[in-house]
Structure 1
Amino acid sequence: MILVTTPTGDIGRRVLSNLRAAGMAVRLIARDPSKLPSDLQLDVIEGSMADAATIARALPSVTGVFWLPPGDPTMASAKAAYVDVSRAFCDALPESAVTHVVGISALGRGWPKPAGHVTATLAVDDMIAQTGVNYRALACASLMDNIARQAEPIRTIGRFFQPTPTDLKLPHVAKADVARVAADLLLSPKWSGVEAIPLLGPEDLSFGQMAAIMSEVLGREIIASEMPMDHFGQMMRDFGASDGMAQAYVEMLTAKNEGMDHLITGASRHNTPTTFRMWCEDELRPLVTG
């Protein structure tokens, strides 16, 4: 049996769908089971991933785990949202039947400065690795799907906003590809040891290039606008993020602007084939035009 965490999130629900399509027995941890599809018969443990009692109820008979802390923006810090949330799980692993864990991580191993969410996520990788399980950390580039959060300004004013120079090329990966890689690893647990797998997407793109692709797909001009980093931090606070989490977002995107995502070179891109144009056609266009 495979345990899936954060099953109502964009990546978790795709992992769940892929595992169920393959006929795998799956158990879920969900804080709010009412957000799960009501038409499916699901084995759900209601509770928080951070709670030791919830973990104890979820792990019996489980041999594989998809681990993804939800990154609650209202928590005090990125450490609280990722490391502290993962502590009960890591404490329980050595006495469990779990042999394989797949986690969502980030590019940035070796970056010498604070990188907010990335720093915390890499600390979770280290915690899981130290338990002795076989572990694959999916080191993701920026998720192109995050553009969908700006569907409204794209629709109404033809713009989207980033605290990043519009000509800076960065790797971007689709959540669908990330979820497929995660599910494939859990369905065929023939691997061993601890390893980070870079998920870079098929090509580096600037936000200016992404805007041009969006313009072609949507049939009207879309403009990428750079916003000051301090304005971005305040925007995250206005959206409900704590001061600590807003600062973590700022640190992460500052590190990306300074080159963190380019520490890895020569990694294969064949495992993440979805181009930004494909993503726009399949996922952004329905959101903007529907």
Structure 2
Amino acid sequence: MIVITTPTGDIGSQVLTTLLKSAPSSGEELRVIVRDPAKLPAPVRDRVDIVPGSHADPEVVDRAFTGADAVFWVVPPDAQAPSLDLAYRGFTRAAAQAFTTHGVTHVVGVSALGRGTAVAGRAGLVTASLAMDDLIADTGVAYRALANPSFMDNLLRQLRSIRDQGVFTDTVAADRAAPTAATRDIAAAAAGLLLDRSWTGTGSVPVLGPQDLSPNDLARIMSEVLDTPVRYQRQSLEDLRTSLTGHGIGEAFAQGMVDMMRAKEEGLDDGVRRTPQSAGTTTFRQWCEEVLKPAVLALD
């Protein structure tokens, strides 16, 4: 049995869809942990075992992991957490104990690039995520951390600005090329690991996207696909902090975002060599054509 956390989230929902498609041939039983089962599509609810609640809750994970062989683990963002340690390791602690108690053998988690870099210890959200990886690995389960860069899908948060002003923002230099990955490639990597559990030990699985791109590259490709000018506007880290807190984000999470973005500018995502296995299949142009453009056209 495979347990999927965050089955209504961006990556979790795609992992669940892939596993459901493979279920007739794989024979895998699927169980999900979800706060609100009503958010699952009706056809999905009919095909999975549902454990309602939060996967930070010891009683919930105790029920969910009973009889489970593998778990897909995601820590949902907690913008109001008093500390990043509580948001990541604190959230995961009950599950880590339950992995051992119930004999879960394999865990796949969503994490980040940066381990081993000079800035890994001061990278905010990424530093906390890497500490979560260590907590899980220390339980003795076979663990694979999906080591991800920034997501292409993050641009969906700026749809109106892209459409109405022809502008998107970030905090890195306009000509700084870095990896960027589509969440569907991350989900595909997770599903593959969950279905073929021949791997052992602990380690990371980078999902880098097919090529490094700068914000200027992203602007050029978006302009071509959307057939309208799109330009990049660099935002200062202090403006990022002000924007986050102005939208009600707590101080700890806002600082974690600022520290992460500073670390990305300093090389956090640069330490892993791209291979055919880590490149994924979705180019940024393809993602723009298949995800971004339809989303822009669907705006009212």
Per the TM superposition, whether the score is higher than 0.5 is: yes
Q: CA RMSD in A?
A: 1.2
Q: Residue in 1 aligned with 2:227?
A: 219
Q: How does 1:39-54 map to 2 (within 5 A)?
A: 39-40=43-44, 41=46, 42-54=48-60
Which whole-Å deviations, capped at 9, do the CAs of 1:48-101 have from their partners, x for residues lacking one? 111101111111111000000102212222222111100000111112131111
Supply the distance in 1 between the matched residues of 2:278 and 2:255 (Cα, whole angstroms). Answer: 34
Output the TM-score relative to the length of structure 1: 0.97
In structure 2, the partner of 1:129 is 137
Name the counterpart of 2:180: 172
Amino acid at match of 2:94: A
Residue equivalent to 1:6? 6
Q: Distance in 2 between matches of 1:102 and 1:214?
A: 32
Query: 2:127 is matched with which residue?
Result: 119
Alignment counterpart, residue 29 of structure 1, candidates 29, 33, 53: 33
Q: How many percent of aligned residue pairs carry the same amino acid? A: 43
Contact 2:123-2:259 at 8 Å conserved across structures: yes
2: CA distance between counterparts of 1:35 and 1:9? Answer: 10
1:74 corresponds to which residue?
A: 80
CA contact (8 A) 2:207 2:278 kept: no
1:195 corresponds to which letter in structure 2?
Answer: G
| 2:96 alignment counterpart | 90
Give the whole-Å Cα distance in 2 for the aligned partners of 1:29 and 1:44.
6
Deviation at 1:34, TM superposition (A): 2.0
Question: Per the alignment, in what secondary structure is the counterpart of residue 179 of structure 2?
Answer: strand
Provide, for residues 141-175 of structure 1, a one-character-per-residue CA deviation record: whole Å limited to 9, x for no partner.
11111011101111111111111111111100110
Contact kept? 2:206, 2:278, Cα under 8 Å: no
Residue correspondence of structure 1 range 148-159 to structure 2 within 5 A? 148-159=156-167
Match of 1:272 among 257, 273, 280: 280
Q: Provide the TM-score with structure 2 as the length reference.
A: 0.94
Mapped pair 1:63 → 2:69:
yes
The more displaced of 141-150 and 232-241 is 232-241
- Per the alignment, in what secondary structure is the counterpart of residue 114 of structure 2? coil
Change (3 A) 1:266 1:153: closer
Aligned residue-pair number: 290
Equivalent position SS for 1:132? coil
- Is the partner of 1:137 in helix, strand or coil? strand
1:110 Cα deviation from its structure 2 partner: 2.0
In structure 2, C-alpha distance between the alignment counterparts of 1:3 and 1:266, rounded to whole Å? 30
Q: Which amino acid aligns with 2:214?
A: S
Q: Partners in 1 of 2:165 and 2:67 — Cα distance? A: 52
For 1:180-232, what per-residue CA distance to the aligned partner results, in whole angstroms no more than 9, with x for missing partners?
01001101111111111111111000011101000000001001100111101
Matches within 5 A, 1:234-253: 234-253=242-261
Task: Specify the code of the residue in structure 1 equivalent to 2:262.
Answer: T
Distance 1:112 1:259 in 2: 8
Whole-angstrom CA distance in 1 between matches of 2:152 and 2:75? 19
Residue in 1 that maps onto 2:110? 104
The structure-2 alpha-carbon separation of the partners of 1:90 and 1:71, relative to structure 1 and needing over 3 Å to count, comes to same
State whether residues 170 and 234 of structure 2, in contact with CA within 8 Å, keep that contact through their aligned partners in structure 1: yes
Separation in 1 of the partners of 2:9 and 2:34? 10
Looking at structure 2, the residues matched to 73 and 39 of structure 1 have their Cα atoms a distance apart, in angstroms, of: 31
Distance 2:278 2:98 in 1: 35
Give the unaligned 5+ runs of structure 1. none
